[in-house]
Amino acid sequence: MEELAKKIEEEILNHVREPEIPNREVNLLDFGARGDERTDCSESFKRAIEELSKQGGGRLIVPEGVFLTGPIHLKSNIELHVKGTIKFIPDPERYLPVVLTRFEGIELYNYSPLVYALDCKNVAITGSGVLDGSADNEHWWSWKGKKDFGWKEGLPNQQEDVKKLKEMAERGTPVEERVFGKGHYLRPSFVQFYRCRNVLVEDVKIINSPMWCVHPVLSENVIIRNIEISSTGPNNDGIDPESCKYMLIEKCRFDTGDDSVVIKSGRDADGRRIGVPSEYILVRDNLVISQASHGGLVIGSEMSGGVRNVVARNNVYMNVERALRLKTNSRRGGYMENIFFIDNVAVNVSEEVIRINLRYDNEEGEYLPVVRSVFVKNLKATGGKYALRIEGLENDYVKDILISDTIMEGAKISVLLEFGQLGMENVIMNGSRFEKLYIEGKALLK
């Protein structure tokens, strides 16, 4: 197990590399911007990026101050270096015209992400400053349709649009005909790199996101390092790699309203149509401190293109619902395999320390997912209703789950296994030691 995990890590680290940005700088102030939290600097950002791009690329300096803007569309060989605060205007019409994007694993044309790059190479967001999406119960979040986030009877919400989008994907409606945006209520991601190569996000702080915070799609060679994400609205996942290859997520801090790092590859028919997995992803040395985070490392549920060769090492998860979660169902298809969860710590878990679920959302279909080869080693965890909960299907077992050299204390129930294969070696659960145990089928260990 350890040897294969190290081999995967080496493969990742040998491939990921920082973008090559030309040694050229411009200052946003030189394009008429004012950091007074009143002046609309949208045109200044646009002109600065266009000018840099004409020169072959370089670094755009956003100095101290608070700069209001609409969407920022990056181009190849551009680094957005943030020293102050970029505060995005929370008016949905500012994020038109629509762009190619994804919503919960389905391709469509929708409101632009707040920071967006399409088909770019060598692109970066860096600096000690802040990206503020300005989302709150009055802006964006109420579209979720939940009263906790500002929705009231008579206000619009996303429900009909989500249903329509799913139906279009199942029917095979061409993507260019899946046009939403104005008059619809599907929230955009905050930062999205779509079909990009050589991407870096480093040091910045991201707050108040409309939906998913950092969402690279169909991208390769991505580094996300030492950023802080503080956003506790609905569906406020921290980092969502979707159909990405060769990715490093390290030294980040999360306080999110949903999962912290959650790996995806498309939903149902659309994910199978595109058929691009997320693979070779290393998640290490991160810290999650949250009262709202659903999961530390999560895979799914939009995983129809497959997820494999993922290593999570030396992360700390505090107050999360679950430390490790794999979620899918028989509408998805796809696979999750070669998942390594090594040298991690989880404190005060509220639901399950480890949860693998092939019945997510109680949805059923004809596309059985493959979930196998999940390895957990040297995990130290406290709390939880369950230490380990695995729920496969009678005709679709969860296979080859191995837990070793692990201590889990304080859970009300140690193991619930339904339709799976579980091995434990040198594991302590609530004071009981399992030197070597193999279970197949069903089991309940209290």
Report residue 228 as tokens. Answer: 């802080």
State which CATH number among 3.40.50.720, 3.40.50.2300, 2.160.20.10, 3.40.630.40 fits the domain covering 2-445.
Answer: 2.160.20.10
361: annotated active-site residue? no
pLDDT of residue 290: 85
- Chain-centroid distance of CA 390 in Å reads 22
Low-confidence ranges of the chain (pLDDT < 70): none
Within 10 angstroms of residue 153's Cβ, the number of other Cβ atoms is: 5
pLDDT of residue 301: 97
pLDDT of residue 446: 87
User: For the chain, how far is it from start to end, CA to CA, in angstroms?
Assistant: 27
Percent above pLDDT 70 for the chain: 100
294: annotated active-site residue? yes
pLDDT of residue 211: 99
Non-local (6+) Cβ contacts of 158 within 8 A are 143, 144, 145, 185, 186, 187
What is the residue extent of each domain of the chain?
A: 2-445
Question: Choosing from 73, 81, 184, 294, which is the catalytic residue?
Answer: 294
For the stretch 5-43, what's the b/e string if a residue is b when 16 or more beta carbons lie within 10 angstroms of its beta carbon? beebbebbeeebeebebeeeebebbebebbbeeebebbe
Which pTM value belongs to this model? 0.98
Question: Choosing from 161, 240, 258, 270, which is the catalytic residue?
Answer: 258
Cα 444 from Cα 83, distance rounded (Å): 54
